[in-house]
Amino acid sequence: MAKFWKQFLSGIVITNPLFVLALGLCPALAVSVTVTNGIGMSLATAFVLLGSAIVVSSIKNFVPNIVRIPIFIVVIASFVTIADLTLKAFIPTLADSLGIFLPLIVVNCIIMGRAEAFGSKHPVHLAIADALGAAVGFAIAMIIISFLREVLGTGQLAFKVVPYFDIHLFTLPVLGTDPMALFILPPGAFLLIGLLLALFRRLGVLKSE
Amino acid sequence: MKDKLGQYYPILALTVVVFISIAVLSGMDSFTRDTIQYQKELKIQRMLNQLFREMSAYDFDESTEIYTITADDTKIGYAFLGVGVGYGGNIDIVVGLENKTTLRGIAVIAHAETPGLGDKILLPDFTDKFVGLDISEVNLTRDGGKVDAITGATISSRAVVDGVRNAAMEKAEFLPD
């Protein structure tokens, strides 16, 4: 059990997929415009990570080495399609705002990376710990980035999941009328992610000392 | 079994995985297909409702791609999709007509314009200017029409105006006088 928690925590802090390994930057940049999107993307990614980790580590003894990558991709693509169809059927507004980046989770390097580097070499319970750690680490990073982008870029915070379920949390006094639209645009995302990466690197250095 | 099959084992393994995946996904597809179809129709209905609040039913003609809107069994207008080429890509617009030449209104349903500038094409300040216009008047003021461009977003404004006018002219021949 100690091993389980160690593996789980390492995914959040030491090998945080976004802030430390800098994996999965493409969906992080493209989708993190609102907190709703950030959470939606994190949940979809978590589902695919967990599902593929369980399947990959359970079938690892039957998978011939030379076709392991195609097999892992088929497994991952199946889970992505399941997530895609489910969101389209039951939360269509979220599926619309994630758009093409939902099916593109297939090529998100976090998932393939964890399956290849960890899931295919470890027992199922550790693979689950690793997947959960990476998923939570990714979710925390996504929520931080999308929170900053939404608040700075639009001056307000709102959750729009389905029509008629619209929670408007707050509008900032000055930013609300005159938001810094840069942060909604890709350059703003690059700037923010760069600063956050630097911050995490600094924290990591402090910790190791 | 691995040794017996030898060099064919990888092919077999991959085939088995692919077939399992196909089975799971076809199950998933038949489970969600109806709901996805229903959501799509709901989306169209909501989109048409934006322009025709009193709408009670609509009818879609596959060949002309025109929605005919009815309220209590009387025809109240037509709607169809138009596309304008904006600053950040295509802008999808739903165009509502009261009759062959008079606009009921427009709504932008998908776009990739610059936030804070071009995305003002979504606001009623801009879209309300189309209400009641004749198709021939749908042009920017500077081009001889009756729609004022959004300050700082002429390309986006022109894309919407062009998209609406082109779609309306293209569909005009299918509409009764």
The beta strand positions in chain B, using DSSP E, are 57-61, 66-71, 74-85, 90-97, 103-110
Of A64, A78, A185, the CB nearest to B13: A64
Residues of A in contact with B11 (CB under 8 A): 67
10 Å CB burial of residue A106 (0-12, 13-18, 19+) is middle
Over the stretch A55-85, which tens digit does the pLDDT of each residue have? 999 998 888 888 999 999 999 999 999 999 9
Mean pLDDT value of segment A87-106: 86
Cβ within 8 Å, pair A78-B21: yes
User: Is 90 exceeded by the pLDDT of residue B70?
Assistant: no
**Count: domains in chain A:** 1
Range of the domain at A201: 2-208
CB B135 within 8 A of CB B166: no
Q: How far is B8 from chain A (nearest CA, A)?
A: 10
What average pLDDT does the segment B153-165 reach? 93
Measure in Å the smallest separation between the Cα of A6 and chain B Cα atoms. 32
The per-residue pLDDT for A164 is 56
3-state SS assignment for residue B83 = strand
pLDDT tens-digit profile of A136-166? 999 999 999 999 998 888 888 877 665 556 6
A164 touches chain B (CB under 8 A): no
pLDDT of A205 reads: 66
Whether B14 has its CB under 8 Å from any CB of chain A: the answer is yes
What is the ipTM, given to two decimal places? 0.80
Residue of chain A whose alpha carbon sits nearest to that of B6: A64
Residues in chain B with CB shorter than 8 Å from the CB of A70 are 14
The answer to whether B12 faces chain A, any CB pair under 8 Å, is no
Residues 6+ apart with CB under 8 A from A130: A7, A8, A11, A53, A114, A118, A119, A122
Say if residue A208's pLDDT is above 70: no
Position A168 scores a pLDDT of 75
Chain A residues touching B36 at Cβ < 8 A: 85, 88-89, 92
Angle separating helix axes A186-208 and A124-154, nearest 10 degrees = 130
- Closest approach of chain A CAs to the CA of B153, in angstroms? 15
Q: Which of the given ranges, A2-6, A40-44, B172-176, has the highest pLDDT on average?
A: A40-44
Distance from CA of B13 to the nearest CA of A (A): 7
Rounded-to-10 torsion of CA A45, A43, B45, B135: -60
Question: Which amino acid makes up residue A123?
Answer: P
Burial B25-57 (b: 16+ CB within 10 A, else e): beebeeebeeebeebeeeebeebbebbbeebee
